[in-house]
Amino acid sequence: MSRRPNDPQRRERILQATLDTIAEHGIHAVTHRKIAHCAGVPLGSMTYYFDGMDSLLEEAFAGFTREMSRQYREYFAKVNGPEMACEAIATLIHSSEVTTPHNMELMYQLYALMNRKPSLRIVMQDWMQTSQKTLEQWFNPVTARALDAFIEGMTLHFVTDRSPLSREEIGAMVKRIAGLEEE
């Protein structure tokens, strides 16, 4: 007779607590102790479920990017053509449906950390590829890549600019990149 774990959700709570701790304190201040406290688990659980901080970070960020990709695909689910895709991209950048402050903080931390951790660079590359594949439903691969880079960059600009562009201005830029509007 196999024995069931006392806390079958512990591993998932640790992964979520890792992301929450990173978002709250920044990657530089994350420790096993802080994550365990945030997850409400004994400190020993950290090494029971994960080989070390690197494997924990990789799995947490991989889960984060999978969830972001799922939300991204869901966001574009009702799009039925390039014009509508451009409108959806403009709205995506201008709103915070997917790019919540919590998600943006995690993205910033992932960008910074992936430079030092090759396994996280792969997580980031997989995420970018998934986003581009979503856009390739309506655009050729080069245009999809340009739009994906624009979404990432303009999202950062939108949340940090003193005077963010209007949704209409963003929409016009998206259409230019997509080749659907003259300058």
Dihedral over Cα of 158, 161, 165, 166: its sign: positive
Instruction: For 117-170, write each residue's pLDDT tens digit.
Output: 888 999 999 999 999 999 999 999 999 999 999 999 998 888 888 898 999 999
- How far is the first Cα of the chain from the last one, in angstroms, to the nearest whole number? 70
Distance (Å, whole) CA 86 – CA 84: 5
124 token code pair:
């980031």
CA distance 35 to 153: 30
Token pair recorded at residue 9 = 């959700």
Let me know: does 46 contact 32? Beta carbons within 8 Å. Answer: yes
pTM: 0.85
The CA-CA-CA angle for residues 83, 99, 67, to 5°, reads: 95
